[in-house]
């Protein structure tokens, strides 16, 4: 593993990619081109919708490539192909960002920072301070959410709600093995949820589909039970495609919770990527220009 500090990469030109499949819906090129334009950098950022790992590695190892984003289904498979990874990527077992140190390809995970900053930039910490967190879902994004809640938001207890027991068990085993799973509680029934303290921060990591199976309905009812508790916190709805306005978000808003759209996590993880690729700190990036560009794209998509 290597430390997480960003290298200085201030050269003006270069090419980067987002490697995944399918990714036609991604707003990453819009985000990064807006950043590069705002910084006066002559850089390109292309979608590489592909399953060809060897081709991608040949592109990213080219000296003209400053780095790359990595998304599904490659976030885990890419790790053995890299020269090193940061502690964050090691902790959650997934890489969504590649940056360079000399000729070496280094993998990190900026999804964690996207989750953290979605709360820090939009909500007073008094909303979640000293209270449990809640993660809805059981995939790779759930590990990133648990890490952010435990390591950065000081949630000593984190509830896990999901339709599949096996997925939750896998998340709990992984997080425990990597040093941040001791406070995880799998909430499996509404009656169990009724007895627990209400959370202050929720991260929803599931697709925006209505419940169909009995296990999906159980997970939804447990979620509604937590939303109905007296303390009203903030919920980050990670899903933003095809729309960031989701069923769970609507239920949370109706129950009195502050809803943070998934585009916020996308934006802030992108700022962290840009920090690695440009050497510029967050305060030096064109934050408002990026947010305005994303808002315009969301409005266009709603028409």
Q: Is the peptide bond before 33 cis (omega within 30 degrees of 0)?
A: no
CA dist 192 and 184 (Å) reads: 14
> In the predicted model, what is the mean pLDDT of the chain?
93
Topology agreement, domain 13-109 and domain 114-263: yes
CATH number 3.40.50.2300 given to 114-263: no
Task: Read off the pLDDT of residues 105-152 as tens digits, 9 standing for 90 and up.
Answer: 999 999 999 999 999 999 999 999 999 999 999 988 899 999 999 999
* 126 DSSP 8-state letter: G
Q: In the prediction, which pLDDT does 240 show?
A: 80
Could you give the residue numbers annotated as active site?
75
Q: In the prediction, which pLDDT does 25 show?
A: 85
The CATH class for the domain spanning 13-109 reads: alpha beta
* 245 DSSP 8-state letter: -
> Dihedral of CA 239/170/92/97: which sign?
negative
Task: Read off the pLDDT of residues 270-282 as tens digits, 9 standing for 90 and up.
Answer: 999 999 999 999 9
Domain boundaries, the chain: 13-109, 114-263
Q: In the prediction, which pLDDT does 290 show?
A: 96
Mapped onto helix, strand or coil, the DSSP state of residue 61 is coil
Banded pLDDT at 242 (limits 50, 70, 90): confident
Instruction: State what percent of residues in the chain have pLDDT above 90.
Output: 85
pTM of the model: 0.92
Q: Compute, in degrees rounded to 10, the torsion defined by CA atoms 44, 45, 51, 57.
A: 60
Residue 93 has pLDDT above 90, yes or no: yes
Q: Which residues contact 167 (CB under 8 A, 6 or more apart)?
A: 138, 139, 142
What average pLDDT does range 183-211 have in this prediction?
96
Q: In the prediction, which pLDDT does 9 show?
A: 54
What average pLDDT does range 252-274 have in this prediction?
96
CA neighbours closer than 13 Å in the CB half-sphere of residue 30: 17
What average pLDDT does range 3-30 have in this prediction?
80
* 209 DSSP 8-state letter: -
10-19, 206-215, 233-242 — which is least confidently predicted? 10-19
């Amino acid at each position: 593993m290597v430390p997480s500090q960003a290298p200085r990469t201030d050269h003006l030109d270069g090419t980067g990619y987002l490697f995944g499949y399918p990714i036609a819906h991604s707003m990453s090129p819009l985000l990064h081109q807006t950043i590069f334009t705002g910084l006066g950098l002559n850089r390109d950022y292309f979608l590489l919708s592909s399953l060809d790992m060897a081709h991608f590695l040949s592109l990213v190892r080219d000296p003209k490539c400053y780095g790359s984003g990595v998304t599904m289904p490659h976030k885990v498979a890419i790790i053995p192909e890299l020269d090193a990874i940061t502690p964050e990527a090691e902790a959650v077992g997934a890489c969504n960002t590649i940056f360079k140190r000399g000729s070496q390809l280094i993998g990190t995970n900026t999804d964690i920072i996207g989750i953290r900053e979605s709360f820090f930039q939009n909500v007073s910490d008094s909303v979640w301070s000293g209270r449990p967190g809640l993660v809805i879902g059981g995939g790779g994004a759930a590990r990133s959410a648990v890490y952010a809640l435990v390591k950065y938001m000081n949630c000593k207890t984190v509830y896990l709600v999901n339709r599949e027991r096996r997925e939750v068990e896998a998340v709990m085993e992984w997080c425990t093995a990597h040093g941040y799973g001791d406070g995880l509680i799998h909430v499996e029934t509404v009656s169990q949820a009724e007895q627990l303290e209400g959370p202050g921060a929720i991260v929803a990591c599931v697709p925006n589909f209505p419940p169909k199976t009995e296990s999906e309905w159980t997970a939804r009812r447990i979620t509604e039970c937590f939303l109905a508790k007296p303390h009203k916190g903030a919920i980050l709805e990670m899903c933003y495609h095809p729309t960031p306005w989701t069923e769970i978000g609507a239920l949370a808003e109706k129950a009195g919770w502050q809803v943070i759209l998934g585009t916020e996590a996308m934006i802030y993880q992108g700022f962290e990527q840009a920090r690695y690729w440009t050497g510029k700190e967050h305060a030096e990036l064109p934050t408002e220009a990026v947010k305005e560009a994303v808002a315009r794209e969301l409005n266009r998509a709603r028409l």
